Amino acid sequence: MSEDRADSSSADGGPGEDVFTYNGGRVDPGESANIRYGISETYLGDPVRIPVTVINGTHPGPTVFLSAAAHGDELNGIEVVREVAHDWNHADLHGTLICLPVMNVPGFLAQERYLPIYDRDLNRSFPGREDSTSARRMAHRIFTNFIEPCDLGIDFHTSTRGRTNMLHVRANIDDADVERLAKAFSSNVIIAGQGPSGTLRREATDAGVPTITVEMGEAHRFQRQLIDRSLTGVASVLAEFGLHPDSSVHWPGWRVIIDDAGEKTWLRADAGGIVDMKHSSGDLVREGETICAITNPFKEEDVIVTVEAPFTGLLVGVLENPVVYPGNPLCHLVKLDDTILHALEREIERQDPFLETLE
């Protein structure tokens, strides 16, 4: 459906072709609408409604969705989507933007990752089903109305509570359209892979809507540097796909693409205790360098376990909550080839504020 729509849009065809329609409404070219769209009902029988902003440009072009808070406590993306929807000037928009800043409204209200109803993960419930669990019914209403009609999409996430990560894109770059989208977002790090079944990006991509996930920082926070970096990425994507034809595509300076199954490594604790983390996410660590130490409340010398980098790499994520059982993840280390390593070293020399302040 995506290509059909893009083709008909650019064909400058008959009236009505660039109207955006959803169950119960329409948004005409040159118009925008703030919609509260019902996806479920509470125990009191009141509607559970998600905020949706549709901006239909005066000119034809692709339809793009921007979504956030599929996990209710992941806030950075909400601000990215809100600023695009309400602070940017779309007078010359070629195409349509579907902005979904808070998909998991029950989780958002409770400030929890999952849907509070039986702790369901909305981001494992796509594309959803009308006659299934509550989570799948919600997913179905979002997917059929606001995802399937799009040509491409970006879904914003943060790390799970207790951990943080540097801004990166996750994308199935075996799909050429997804690869184009992932590169256009202009992040330094892309983790390749199709993602778990039921995630919005995998199911949307499988349904013909190339979609990437953007991971940025930690839950329960607005992190301005990361939000600004993501806004640059969105602007770059809108330029690449012609929605803002007068803007230019951003190039991040250096980029590393990591195979999901390959060279990234989660280092796990081999001892229980309290973690004294020596690094932040975004740090470059050298082979043999101490990443953290696992200690206990008595700080007895003989029980302190140090964890060293098995190779030189980039710390994409580190735990924030400093307590571990044996087997718990400590950090996510990505191996870098020499070219990327030199680019990263130059970046650090220039004291990129992003790398400096990300903690």
- d(CA 159, CA 42) in angstroms, rounded, equals 28
Piece of 46-54, 66-74, 79-87, 335-343 that binds Zn ion (CB under 5 A): 66-74
Task: Say how many C-beta atoms besides its own lie within 10 A of residue 214's C-beta.
Answer: 28
- d(CA 66, CA 76) in angstroms, rounded, equals 13
In the bound state, the residue with its beta carbon closest to Zn ion is 157
Give, for 227, the enclosing helix (H) or strand (E). Answer: helix 224-240
| CB closer to Zn ion, 147 vs 285 | 147
| CB closer to Zn ion, 93 vs 139 | 139
For 228, phi and psi rounded to 5 degrees? Answer: -65, -40
| CB closer to Zn ion, 55 vs 216 | 216
- d(CA 257, CA 342) in angstroms, rounded, equals 15
| CB closer to Zn ion, 18 vs 74 | 74
| CB closer to Zn ion, 47 vs 196 | 196
- d(CA 119, CA 139) in angstroms, rounded, equals 15
Say if residues 168 and 190 touch (Cβ distance below 8 Å): yes
As measured in angstroms, the least distance from the Cβ of 100 to Zn ion is: 14
Residues 289-308 that bind Zn ion (CB under 5 A): none
- Considering only 5, 82, 90, 157, the residue that binds Zn ion (CB under 5 A) is 157
- d(CA 345, CA 147) in angstroms, rounded, equals 40
Residues 212-241 that bind Zn ion (CB under 5 A): none
| CB closer to Zn ion, 151 vs 203 | 203
Say whether residue 120 binds Zn ion (CB under 5 A). no
Piece of 2-10, 156-164, 191-199, 348-356 that binds Zn ion (CB under 5 A): 156-164
Piece of 157-165, 271-279, 299-307, 343-351 that binds Zn ion (CB under 5 A): 157-165
As measured in angstroms, the least distance from the Cβ of 201 to Zn ion is: 11
Say whether residue 264 binds Zn ion (CB under 5 A). no
Burial (Cβ within 10 Å: 0-12, 13-18, ≥19) of residue 316: buried
As measured in angstroms, the least distance from the Cβ of 30 to Zn ion is: 34
Distance of CA 346 to the CA centre of its chain: 27
- d(CA 103, CA 51) in angstroms, rounded, equals 8
As measured in angstroms, the least distance from the Cβ of 213 to Zn ion is: 8
As measured in angstroms, the least distance from the Cβ of 27 to Zn ion is: 28
Piece of 152-160, 172-180, 219-227, 272-280 that binds Zn ion (CB under 5 A): 152-160
Piece of 63-71, 142-150, 232-240, 322-330 that binds Zn ion (CB under 5 A): 63-71
CB burial readout 118-147, b (16+ within 10 A) else e = eebbbbbbbbbeeeeebbbbbbbbbbbbbb
Piece of 101-109, 153-161, 201-209, 233-241 that binds Zn ion (CB under 5 A): 153-161
Strand partners, 191: 170, 258
The number of residues that bind Zn ion (CB under 5 A) is: 3
As measured in angstroms, the least distance from the Cβ of 164 to Zn ion is: 13
Piece of 65-73, 182-190, 199-207, 251-259 that binds Zn ion (CB under 5 A): 65-73
Give, for 226, the enclosing helix (H) or strand (E). Answer: helix 224-240
Say whether residue 71 binds Zn ion (CB under 5 A). yes
Could you tell me which residues come within 8 angstroms of residue 16 by beta carbon, excluding any fewer than 6 positions away? Answer: none
Applying CB under 5 A, the residues found at the interface with Zn ion are: 71, 74, 157
